[in-house]
């Protein structure tokens, strides 16, 4: 049975039979793959800790007929601090579901970039000084951009004119921002303040340090969050389930 090595991020897992798990892994080499971790649910299994969601490991995999088989693995990063904070844990789960939804199996194009982007987002989410909303929306926008779904935020999606600051709109179905004159011109348009539009325009450009230093107003982040939630749901063609739980946590704060 031919084998290969890969660095993988666990993005989903299902139980299989009595003790096994089917893992959905995002690897930096091959993109998204599925593999079986045999015996991973036994308490003494060498895979039990490594096969948790958003763990990164170096793996030796054997090519199987339908699913590959995990032969060996060594944890590179477990993101332990994220597992002791409910909100950050929910966000990390959301990142994994988002990556799963927006990628195809065995598509190595962009795999290295998306792997680095996702692990960097998880790393930043661990930082206590980071605004979790900033990290989440930056990750959403960068992931969408890498997969060709970036919303248009510098010009009006209806008239094409450059957007000047002021009260504008955002239409998920039209794919981006609406200028002040067209902001009621789509059925699903939501209103955006100048600050929220600025955040949408700048987030995909900023790197780690700049993201940690960014602390927009709560109102602006709520507007960005609402616009992106609808936009992502429309582009993914289905609801992102972990996003609802995240909303519930936010509402109870």
Q: Name the site residues for another protein (rule: CB under 8 A).
A: 12, 17-18, 43-44, 46-50, 52-55, 73-75, 78, 80, 83-86, 89-90, 93-94, 96-97, 241-242, 244-246, 248
The answer to whether the beta carbons of residues 249 and 87 sit under 8 Å apart is yes
Distance, in Å, from the CA atom of 115 to the CA atom of 143, rounded to the nearest integer, reads: 10
Q: Which of 32, 218, 196, 26 is nearest to 122 (CA)?
A: 26
110 Cβ neighbours under 8 A, 6+ residues apart: 31, 146, 147
Q: Which two tokens stand for residue 121?
A: 């987002």
CB of 150 to another protein, least distance (A): 25
Q: How far is the CB of 112 from another protein (least distance, A)?
A: 24
Distance, CA of 16 to chain centre = 26
Coil, helix or strand at residue 81 = helix
Nearer to another protein, 78 or 236 (CB): 78
CB of 165 or CB of 241, closer to another protein: 241
Of residues 29 and 97, the one with the C-beta less far from another protein: 97
Closest distance of CB 144 from another protein, Å: 20
- Name the minimum Å distance from CB 74 to another protein: 8
- Name which of 74 and 105 has its Cβ closer to another protein: 74
């Amino acid at each position: 049975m031919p084998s290969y090595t890969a660095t993988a991020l666990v993005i989903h897992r299902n139980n299989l039979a009595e003790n096994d798990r089917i893992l959905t892994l995002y690897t930096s080499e091959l993109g998204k793959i599925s593999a079986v971790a045999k015996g991973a649910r036994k308490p003494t299994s060498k895979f039990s800790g490594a096969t948790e969601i958003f763990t990164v490991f170096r793996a030796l995999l054997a090519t199987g007929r339908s699913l590959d088989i995990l032969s060996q693995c060594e944890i590179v990063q477990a993101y332990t601090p994220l597992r002791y904070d409910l909100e950050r844990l929910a966000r990390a789960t959301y990142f994994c579901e988002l990556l799963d939804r927006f990628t195809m199996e065995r598509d190595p194009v962009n795999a290295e970039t998306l792997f680095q982007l996702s692990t960097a987002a998880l790393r930043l989410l661990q930082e206590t000084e980071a605004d979790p909303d900033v990290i989440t929306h930056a990750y959403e926008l960068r992931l969408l951009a890498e997969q060709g779904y970036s919303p248009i935020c510098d010009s009006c999606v209806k008239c094409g004119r450059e957007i000047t600051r002021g009260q504008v709109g955002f239409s998920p179905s039209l794919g981006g921002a609406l200028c002040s004159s067209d902001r009621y011109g789509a059925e699903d348009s939501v209103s955006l303040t100048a600050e929220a539009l600025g955040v949408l325009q700048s987030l995909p450009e900023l790197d780690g340090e700049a993201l940690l230093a960014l602390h927009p107003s709560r109102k602006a982040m709520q507007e960005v969050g609402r616009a992106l939630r609808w936009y992502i749901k429309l582009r993914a063609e289905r609801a992102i389930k972990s996003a609802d739980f995240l909303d519930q946590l936010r509402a109870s704060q």
